[in-house]
Structures are given as C-alpha cells and as structure tokens.
Amino acid sequence: MSTEYAVRPADVSVTDGGGPGEPAAAGEPREHVAAAVALARETQAWWAGIGFAGRRHLLDRWRQDIVEHLDELAAVVRQETGKPHGDAALEIGLAVEHLAWAARHAGRTLGRRRVGSTLLAAHLAATVEYLPFGVIGVIGPWNYPVFTPMGSIGYALAGGNAVVFKPSELTPRTGQWLVDSFERAVGRPVLLAVQGGPEVGDALCRSGVDKLGFTGSTRTAQKVMATCAETLTPVLLEGGGKDALIVDEDADVRAAAQAAVWGGLSNAGQTCIGVERVLAHEAVYDELVDAIREEASRLRAGTDDEADLGPITLPKQVAIIRGQVAEAVAAGARAVVGSPTSDEEAAEVSEHTPISDPARLIQPVVLVDTPTGARIQVEETFGPVITVDRVRDMDEAVAVANAVPYGLGGAVFSRRRGPEIARRVRSGMTSVNNVVGFAGLPALPFGGVGGSGFGRIHGEDGLREFCYAKSVARQRFTPPVSMTNFERRARVDGIFKTALTVLHGRRPWQA
C-alpha cells in the first residue's frame, strides 16, 4: 500500500492508497494531521478577529464562488458517487442556502447580549455571548459529500472557528474542491483538508482539535466518541437512521406515495434521513401499496445521464442491501417492485469495482408482508428498498416507528392529526405532509436521538454547537447588604431570609 503526504499553504493533504487501518502511528498520518491543526490554529485568531461582519463578507464570497462553479463541482460529485447530475446540483444548492443563512445570522445568534438580573442580584449587570471553540475537526460522509459536511463547516466558520476537514476516502476530490474554493474566496488557510482512510480520522480525533463533528455509521460514531473521550474532546455525532413514514387514514394517499418513493429511493436510498419504512393505516394500506408500486416501477438505476438512481457508492453495502432483501423474502415478505438478489451474486462487488460497473447498481425494491423482527425492519439498509407495513391505528404506527434504536428523522401524512402524531415519534426531526423538508430549512436544527447520535447542526442550535457560552457578571454598585464576605453578621442573614421569604415563600392566601 502506497501512501503519500503533501503539505501546502491552503491545505494539508494525506492521501492514502489503501483501505481501513489501525490508529495512526507517530510519524505517519498523525504528524501531518497535527500540522494541519497547528496551521488552522494560527489562522483562527485572524478569522475570529475580523468579526461577524468580516466573516459574513468572506463567506458570501465563498458561496458565490461555489455557485459560479456549480456544474464543475456537481461533475466531481457525480464522478465520485455516481449520483445523477441533478441530484448533485440539488445538494450543492441546499448547502449554499445553509452557508448564506449561517453567515447572515451568526452575529445575532452568537453576539454579546444583556440578560436580566434578579432583585437579590440587582447590583450586577450580566451579559452572555458565544465564543468560538477554536479549531473544529469535521469527518464527512460519502453519500452527501457537500451538503452534510457543510452543515458543520459553514456553521463552525460563521462562528469564528477554523476547520480541519477529513472528507470520506470515497469522495476526496469533492472535499478538496470545497477547500480550494474557500482558498480562492478567502485567501487564508482557515479551512484545511486532510485526506485518507480510518487511520487519518483516528489521527484527527487525537490531534487536539477543540471539538469534532462526525457523520457516518452508528458503529463508527461509537469509536469516534470513545477515542475523543480519552482527551475529553467534545463531539457532535450523527449516526444512522431507520426512518418511518406514517400514513394516517385521512391522508392524501397519492402525495404520501410520491413522498415515500422520493424519500426512500432518491440518491439510491443512500440518505441518512431517507424513508426506509412506510407504516400505513389499514384503511388506506391497499390503495397506498398500489400507488407506491406505480410510482416506483417507473424508476431505473443506471450510470447514464437518463437514470433516476445512481450506483451504490460504498461497495460493501451492495451485499448488505441484497442480503437484507433476500432474508426478508425467504421469511415470507413479497416484493411488489423489484426482486431479491442473494449475497452470492453480490460477492463479486469489491472496493476495486469501478463506480460505473453495472454490478454496483440495485434496482428499486418495495416489500410488503415483511415479518416482524426481520433484519430489514430494524437495521439500517441504506439502499433503494422500502418496506410497507399495515397498522391498525396511529397508536400502533407510533409504537412500531419507535421500536428501533435509531431516532433521526421521519414523516407523517395526515390531514388532521399530523403535528400531533409527529410529536409522538421519537426522532430529532419529523416532516408533516412532506418528506425530508426539515433538511432544506436552514433555521431548523438537524440531528437525532438514541442510536442516531446527539448534537445539532443547522439553525441557531447549529451555530451555538461550535461555540461555548461566555457569561460575564459586572458589579454596577455596592449592595447595601452583602452576603458574599466573611464579615456579615446574624442581622444580615436575617435580612436575607426575610427577603427570600417575601420573594419566594408561601403567601398567606395560598393553601
């Protein structure tokens, strides 16, 4: 396995020619990641010092550069992931929207503001502001190599942090493109890239960054958290999901079917907040299955420009997807769209199989009558597969939706009870009468609960995620009665007790 390292003014690049590795030994990726963090720390002081207005100006220049070269970036994303050009352009456009929002709202959200005092502390004037942690490490995924990491990068930069970014080893050129674009717009190495596999991610966790944001599988998130815990490095983790779309008896069935197919099959099902399960009220179940069959049957996976779905980007995922489908069908599930493929047929797909190879394609699959407890019902599939199950009522729908360890997103279709049902679903985000709508709204926080991780990107929560609260209490005048010294006497204690009783004690008219 050949490995080459390069350090340049605008980025630190660690390019690994191989697959998974052990924690990096000193003198290998670790020293090059350390160099990136050191360079980022030098420039972060300048970046924080130019203030919210200065950063907004430069971040606006960056998003303008991205938009001007959108087709170029979309082509890189397509080459590395195989997704259709339109899908690549959509993810870039949404990332630009978030970048603009973060730059525009950072000052109001994070800037110093006065907070109220109390009668007992009337002599104090208080302020709170949110200051940048310093250097943020970001480990990005391959399925949305622009939109997802930019949810951390853009918000961290808007808050005054520098960022060291490790793109997925499957999409290194996309990550480097973003860094090069930033360099064109800003001219300083505030955003740097480190390239490589798991050993580079491990080195970034151990590099002394002030916080680390990770998006990927729940299993890898656990490893990241354990590694960062050794140095008490705080983490933001987004793991996997097994999102459900719930369809009530009063729902617009056609709209629900279209949403289920888009939410479950777009990006070849490789979406952390994608629809993997549909839970339909028995009153509309048959109609919904027919509508989903009609919608999904029109779609085709391919590598040509006319294809609706692209290939499976992660080679080993092909066997996982086909294996889950084959197991479910063997246990009694029926495929109303597509057909199962055995693990043996998928075994020939390896990390060396080109992204353009037809073996990397999986045509859409829709399953019904899937047995309860089947692996495809509880484990993340991350492919173009949807299961559709019948439920008696919304109580059962919510119970089934919540009966998985994940809690990332979801959707509810109901004309009357959508928000009510949505609140009962244990997830960080839920769409009502649409699918994945929350991801496109910059003001909404994005993140999960349970096995889907913790912490938030996007919105005001996303800005504060990469900053720490700085509280300041300034004495305005000397209080007539001071409790914070060793000279106070019993009389002062009595005055304090009387004041406390008047302010917070039980009133005579209260029972």
Residues with active-site annotation: 238, 272
Amino acid at 289: V
Residue 191: burial class (beta carbons within 10 Å; 0-12, 13-18, 19+):
buried
Q: In angstroms, rounded to a whole number, what is the distance separating the alpha carbons of residues 37 and 192?
A: 9
What tokens were used for 244? 């459900």
What tokens were used for 42? 């030098």
Q: In angstroms, rounded to a whole number, what is the distance separating the alpha carbons of residues 193 and 178?
A: 9
Q: In angstroms, rounded to a whole number, what is the distance separating the alpha carbons of residues 251 and 433?
A: 8
Q: Say if CB 251 and CB 284 are below 8 A apart.
A: yes
Whole-angstrom CA distances from 117 to 98, 120, 364, 468, 477 are 35, 8, 60, 21, 14
Q: Say if CB 462 and CB 102 are below 8 A apart.
A: yes
What tokens were used for 183? 């360099």
Q: In angstroms, rounded to a whole number, what is the distance separating the alpha carbons of residues 94 and 247?
A: 27
Q: Say if CB 387 and CB 358 are below 8 A apart.
A: no
Nearest to 150 by CA among 485, 453, 439, 494: 439
Nearest to 284 by CA among 394, 436, 376, 418: 394
Q: In angstroms, how far is CA 238 from the centroid of its own chain?
A: 5
Q: Say if CB 15 and CB 182 are below 8 A apart.
A: no
Q: Which run of H or E residues covers position 251?
A: none
